[in-house]
Structure 1
């Protein structure tokens, strides 16, 4: 006797864009009749954050939880006898367009679960559950961010003193043409260094920093995880010399998350310049917010787009099942939501229940598909992450960045 439920989705990788509709089918095989009282579909989206304040006091737990939607729909409600054989039920689940992207982090996550449950009426017949983890992505359009078109400028003036003796000043000027880029694009960096002092500048470092901030509502505080996305170095610059560089930094391939609408997890990027004079002098650093997206700025590097192959999809298995027309469905909301799960959907023209698999339309165009031009995919650099506790800051998002908050230990 087979008690295994097979869940098939029209996207075999389980990746959907916010606002799309999930089409699926529930298939199972029985060697003998079965009395059931429930066949239901539950679709849930939520965010959870948790961490301990310190290793010395692990009992103090800081956590947050929020729910974006929670909807359960009954395909079969009430006692029902299923005959022996193969059975198939179809359903669809619309995804709200205003939910944040899926995210998995060290201290929290945003997840979307699709769960089906078959509840038997007899004590000797076990109930069966099946869960699919749905990954939702929400594209970031740089054209909708006013900050993305603004140039980024730096000016760092160093006063060199050693043993109470003035040794002159140096000046570093840097400029980026815009403040928003996509993975695979190159960042043009214009650098002018004037060093009339008697001190050599050992090194100038340019880097992209990523900060993921987790905010706890229970025992309120926040924690940030920092990592370096890309980095280049120049130098040394000898005393009484000037330098001019036209540099380029390639934005590596990386997964972007649009967490707009999430209150407890925030991702920010900064472009950092560090001037290391060496000796008894302190390193001078400056940060500026920078944004990354899926859809590039119109008119900026239109000819430079990273490649993307078509995303494969798995077709449904042959439909040699008992086909159950949709019965009256009782919907039971479990939380605030505008999501509706339907037991039956209008089949596409090319769907054949006699054995032809379900053909699905390709996913919505991504950044690379929309631009229809390819280059070699950039290599992903190694990253180094550190973690520290910071003062809670107001929510921000990747689309419209805010200045980097001051970090303090709690």
Structure 2
């Protein structure tokens, strides 16, 4: 007759979806029903989070197997003291409560794919001497809430492409595509606006695709898995026609969130808008799409500012004479003329990030390398970044009240000072007679030696020295 009738595990849900995230507490109870008295060595519950990938490539003669494992956390709680051995439990029903705290940090969401998975689970295990261990397991749905620079993901994206026709047609085709934002939750709708100017002699069909790409990594190798789950085909555009095309694409509810914070597994979404042209390469614009948990990101309302600036404004106010930089969604700088990666005709994205203030907190603390710093990469701008200035009146994206800017102080104009009467004119002062403090000698007689003809000189004696330099002794005697 078995000793254990049942071992069950239940936990308390924190929301309607039954999901958990970083920093949450998993609480519940373990129920053990015994048919008779048993002696137990240990009884504990643990919570683990693990990522695993595994795939095989090659034929039977040359087959290679790749696998990788990553553990994010392991929490363990003993339901009675760990040091107690051979604890005797009487017959009946025993209920044990537990509480486990999920650590903070960057932890990826749950995922299950053909070549890898990210699993979070609870396990209660009962150990006895000379008996098989009794355990019960239950998976929990984990949703990561680590999305740095979330306000920048709520801004519109703009991409443009220019296509020069080849041998079978003449002219060119221009397409500018705009989507309302980058971050969406499952069940939300992506609004796409494409402005197409077909100035060529060919017909073309605008098409839109929403796809997902999963990348598995192990032992320096990667395995990709791509699929398109939404495709929209619009009406054909005739030659020499300009048209605006609007498209709405709803993200299915069964799609997982974007995963970019796992070393061995990643999940990415993208939206591709392109023109299907016969006998020519199709010009396309590719937008990254981030799928976030349901209800995680606020949906921007039409005409409402998504930040500290008015609706429709791109970035903050500027008094600079230089043109504003173009922000590209491609991982390398591009220019409007050269396109993506310097190839003519490649698309260019424009998604200006909002200003980042030192006081603007993250939604959850995450390492800076989880997502590209955003933003984004700048094209046509300068490498020297403008130093960040602290925002003195609260965080622009926080829920706290933003204080208005202080008004400029007013100064009262002081009364005018009384006029000062002109000063009376002073009597004229005669200048003093000239006075020389020194006794000036009389001017010596001049002799022009340059005009003297030395050959015709006579034997006359030279002039006396006193004639050239009169002595002052005579003046002094006269003065006496």
Q: Same fold (TM over 0.5)?
A: yes
Q: Contact (CA 8 Å) 1:137, 1:258: kept in 2 or not?
A: no
Q: Distance in 1 between matches of 2:9 and 2:128?
A: 18
Pick one of 27, 44, 51 that aligns with 1:23.
27
Pick one of 163, 175, 185 that aligns with 1:157.
163
Q: Distance in 2 between matches of 1:172 and 1:103?
A: 36
Task: Tell me the residue number matched to 1:101.
Answer: 109
Question: 1:161 is paired with a residue of what secondary structure?
Answer: coil
> Hey, which of these two has a bigger chunk of strand by percent?
1
Pick one of 116, 127, 130 that aligns with 1:119.
127
Residues 1:89 and 2:91 are matched in the alignment: no
Q: Contact (CA 8 Å) 2:258, 2:290: kept in 1 or not?
A: no
Task: Tell me the residue number matched to 1:293.
Answer: 292
Unaligned runs of 5+ in 2: 305-368, 378-480
Q: Distance in 1 between matches of 2:266 and 2:62?
A: 24
Q: Contact (CA 8 Å) 2:161, 2:284: kept in 1 or not?
A: no
Report matched runs for 1:2-21 at 5 Å: 2-3=3-4, 4-11=6-13, 15-21=19-25
Question: 1:129 is paired with a residue of what secondary structure?
Answer: strand
Q: Distance in 1 between matches of 2:210 and 2:175?
A: 18
Task: Tell me the residue number matched to 2:175.
Answer: 172
- Give aligned pairs, total: 303
Task: Tell me the residue number matched to 2:230.
Answer: 230
Q: Contact (CA 8 Å) 1:258, 1:398: kept in 2 or not?
A: no
Q: Distance in 2 between matches of 1:224 and 1:177?
A: 29
Structure with greater Cα Rg: 2
Report matched runs for 1:257-336 at 5 Å: 257=257, 259-278=259-278, 280-294=279-293, 295-297=296-298, 299-300=300-301
Q: Contact (CA 8 Å) 1:101, 1:136: kept in 2 or not?
A: yes
Q: Contact (CA 8 Å) 1:15, 1:136: kept in 2 or not?
A: yes
Tell me the TM-score normalized by structure 1.
0.66
Q: Contact (CA 8 Å) 2:260, 2:267: kept in 1 or not?
A: no
Pick one of 184, 188, 192 that aligns with 1:185.
188
RMSD, matched Cα: 3.0
Unaligned runs of 5+ in 1: 304-394, 404-410
* Shift in alpha-carbon separation, 1:67–1:58, aligned structure 2, 3 A: farther
Q: Distance in 2 between matches of 1:400 and 1:194?
A: 31
Question: 2:166 is paired with a residue of what secondary structure?
Answer: strand
Tell me the TM-score normalized by structure 2.
0.57
* Shift in alpha-carbon separation, 1:15–1:169, aligned structure 2, 3 A: closer
Pick one of 123, 130, 134 that aligns with 2:136.
130
Question: 1:212 is paired with a residue of what secondary structure?
Answer: strand
* Shift in alpha-carbon separation, 1:11–1:258, aligned structure 2, 3 A: same
Q: Distance in 2 between matches of 1:290 and 1:126?
A: 49
Deviation of the 1:9 alpha carbon: 1.7
Q: Contact (CA 8 Å) 2:216, 2:264: kept in 1 or not?
A: yes
Higher relative contact order (CA 8 A, sep 6+): 1
Residues 1:51 and 2:50 are matched in the alignment: no
